Amino acid sequence: TTRNSRPNIVLLMADDLGVGDLFCYGNKSVSTPNIDRLASEGVMLTQHLAAAPMCTPSRAAFLTGRYPIRSGMVSPYNLNRALTWLGGSGGLPTNETTFAKLLQHRGYRTGLIGKWHLGLSCASRNDHCYHPLNHGFHYFYGMPFGLLSDCQASRKPELHRWLRIKLWISTALIGLVPFLLLIPKFARWFSVPWKVIFFFALLAFLFFISWYSSYGFTRRWNCILMRNHEIIQQPMKEEKVASLLLKEALAFIERYKREPFLLFFSFLHVHTPLISREKFVGHSKYGRYGDNVEEMDWMVGKILDALDRERLANHTLVYFTSDNGGHLESLDGDTQLGGWNGLYKGGKGMGGWEGGIRVPGIFRWPTVLEAGRVISEPTSLMDIYPTLSYIGGGILPQDRVIDGQNLMPLLEGRASHSHHEFLFHYCGVYLHTVRWHQKDCATVWKVHYVTPKFYPEGSGACYGSGICSCSGDVTYHDPPLLFDISRDPSEAVPLNPDNEPLFDSVIKKMEAAIKEHRATLTPAPQQFSVFNTIWKPWLQPCCGTFPFCGCDKEDDILPTAP
């Protein structure tokens, strides 16, 4: 292997793509030739696990190599489990060191194209303390937030839909009071002072303004396109954004092809509202969602073509993954708008079930990794951090716990057993599930202490609320549910002391591991506190004079080197 020269690194992350959505992972109804080509020319991981079943905490773990509970990037509430407003004040703490920062110190040119979703400002509108440029990226072009159905004016709102309905109803009820008070006044039953009527009318108006000023303008406030620190489009023109991101990615490769570069291409695909360009509409057998997957695959192909064209392919490590499992509850009537998680139970938002956290994982590095290798050992998205540090010649931070493991020994075939003995699966701040990969054999045990309550019962997802809860509407298991994932990957047959002689010893071993793990946790500022998650007008990024925000500078600017 060419160890002394550092490779270029291209990381491709899909948004909400299920492990069962790719042809190479067994989906025969969708066509993904470019991602399949990556898999056949590289190494495929079949037990690759996100550290959280939601965008924000999963991405925080990916960038830092640490469980998101360590950086305070998990939520104690069911309502806000990923960041909800660009005008909020939570984000990836500045004292966390991302792999981009490590590689930047090693002379890499680092770029992030696409979705960030790890916060923007702390205390004032343009302090951009959580901005990608403050976290080790030289260049950023994309959405500081991420795609929402709200970004397409014609679609049903996605952000806190049920809460919004309740707010509308409350507004109507408060608004009725002054009208009801007019009845006795005009019917001359008894006199109601105008002051009282005016007071209730004012109250209704203020209540309405207090929530509508944020929720009424979700598209304008959250769906923003930025280049570095500058807003390029507000609101973003959603139908053109995929082409712009691809153009930027290709320009980045062209610009830095002569020095080692790290390109993190964070797709807006395949999150709702599933915007695909015309040539992909009706392209797949799987409706709008399938069209979107196939467009994403085509974009992957364009990036791989650019590496081939510049003769960089042999000298570039390419990695493909998703931030969490497919979103089962994402529906439009009866049409499924979310992904498919293969034979695995559950999906996005579910802390412990395999479908929420098992994601694709593909590594290609032609001169170093043997083509066509398949690894079924448990690996984590947090492993990318120490792996990149190792191949980029960086030194891992010594002052904090890094939960990831360097994957190179496994990928190169020098090791056959994953270094992860225990993996902890959180839902928000709550530990739901633990996985134990026995050191001396291939068995992988999984124990669930908490599982979500499906609605309707037996449906396999939480269709009533749109996403499963982490606490409250859940089932606590005592004794816990135990599965042998190596024999029962779809978690269909819970084991018990009668059919599994090792039941008690496995549970004991898990409890000791939890105790040990909890001893390594130190309190971190809670990024999802109520104060941090509410929308703050003074933090709202704005192109123009607040609140009259809006611009489109994309047409008159050609991408220039930063």
Dump pLDDT digits (tens) for 246-301.
999 999 999 999 999 999 999 999 998 999 998 999 988 889 999 999 999 999 99
Question: Cβ(338)–Cβ(348) under 8 Å?
Answer: yes
Q: Are residues 138 and 163 in the same domain?
A: no
d(CA 200, CA 519): 53
Q: Are residues 136 and 236 in the same domain?
A: yes
Radius of gyration (Cα) for the chain, nearest Å? 25
Report pLDDT for 559.
Answer: 47
* Domain assignment of residue 158, yes or no: yes
Q: Which of 222, 242, 258 is the last residue of a domain?
A: 222
Report pLDDT for 161.
Answer: 83
Report pLDDT for 512.
Answer: 98
pLDDT mean over 19-32: 94
Q: How confident is the model at residue 229 (pLDDT cuts 50, 70, 90)?
A: very high
Catalytically annotated residue among 24, 48, 55, 128? 55
d(CA 25, CA 206): 53
Q: Are residues 260 and 387 in the same domain?
A: yes
Q: Are residues 412 and 296 in the same domain?
A: yes
Q: Are residues 239 and 195 in the same domain?
A: no
Report pLDDT for 554.
Answer: 82
Q: How confident is the model at residue 394 (pLDDT cuts 50, 70, 90)?
A: confident
- Alpha helix (H) residue ranges in 481-536: 503-519, 530-533
For residue 382, the domain's CATH number is: 3.40.720.10
d(CA 92, CA 533): 13
Q: Are residues 265 and 212 in the same domain?
A: no
Task: Report the interhelical angle of 161-186 vs 194-215 (nearest 10°).
Answer: 160
Structure tokens at 446: 């999984």
Q: Which of 191, 222, 253 is the last residue of a domain?
A: 222
* Domain assignment of residue 17, yes or no: yes
What's at 407, amino acid-wise?
A: L
d(CA 298, CA 142): 19
* Domain assignment of residue 345, yes or no: no
Q: Is the pLDDT of residue 469 over 50?
A: yes
d(CA 168, CA 95): 40
55 is catalytic: yes
d(CA 557, CA 385): 34
Torsion of CA 298, 304, 306, 311, to 10 degrees: -160
How are beta strands 230-234 and 335-336 bridged, if at all? unpaired
- Domain of residue 272: give its range: 12-147+225-327+358-416+526-539
Q: Are residues 173 and 298 in the same domain?
A: no
How are beta strands 225-227 and 139-143 bridged, if at all? antiparallel
Q: Is the pLDDT of residue 3 over 50?
A: no
Kindly tell me the burial class for residue 53, based on how many C-beta atoms sit within 10 Å of its own C-beta (0-12, 13-18, 19 or more): buried
* Domain assignment of residue 3, yes or no: no
Number of H helices, E strands in the chain: 13, 19
Half-sphere exposure of 81 (CA within 13 A, CB side): 22
Report pLDDT for 546.
Answer: 92
Coil, strand or helix: which one is 131? coil
Q: Which of 202, 222, 242 is the last residue of a domain?
A: 222
Q: Are residues 31 and 174 in the same domain?
A: no
Q: pLDDT digit string (tens) for 172-221? A: 999 998 888 888 877 878 888 889 889 989 999 999 999 999 999 999 99
Query: Which of 115-129, 131-145, 220-234, 327-341 has the least mean pLDDT?
Result: 327-341
Report pLDDT for 193.
Answer: 86
Q: Are residues 235 and 318 in the same domain?
A: yes
Question: Cβ(492)–Cβ(344) under 8 Å?
Answer: no
Q: Is the pLDDT of residue 562 over 80?
A: no
Number of other CB atoms surrounding residue 193 within 10 Å: 10
Residue 460: closest CA among 334, 348, 324, 293: 348
Q: Are residues 184 and 323 in the same domain?
A: no
Reported pTM: 0.94
d(CA 405, CA 392): 15
Give how many domains the chain has, as a whole number.
Answer: 2
Please report where in the chains the tokens 């739901």 appear, as a residue: 432
Report pLDDT for 518.
Answer: 97
Q: Are residues 237 and 310 in the same domain?
A: yes
Q: Are residues 164 and 286 in the same domain?
A: no
Q: How confident is the model at residue 561 (pLDDT cuts 50, 70, 90)?
A: very low
* Percent of the residues in the chain that have a pLDDT greater than 70, as a whole number: 98
Q: pLDDT digit string (tens) for 423-465? A: 999 999 999 999 999 998 889 999 999 999 999 988 999 998 8
What's at 500, amino acid-wise?
A: E
- Taking all residues of the chain, what is their mean pLDDT, rounded to a whole number? 93
Between the alpha carbon of residue 138 and those of residues 13, 119, 351, 369, 524, the distances in Å are 19, 17, 33, 29, 27
* Domain assignment of residue 51, yes or no: yes
d(CA 522, CA 459): 38
Q: How confident is the model at residue 556 (pLDDT cuts 50, 70, 90)?
A: low
Q: Is the pLDDT of residue 490 over 70?
A: yes
* Domain assignment of residue 292, yes or no: yes
Catalytically annotated residue among 24, 48, 117, 462? 117
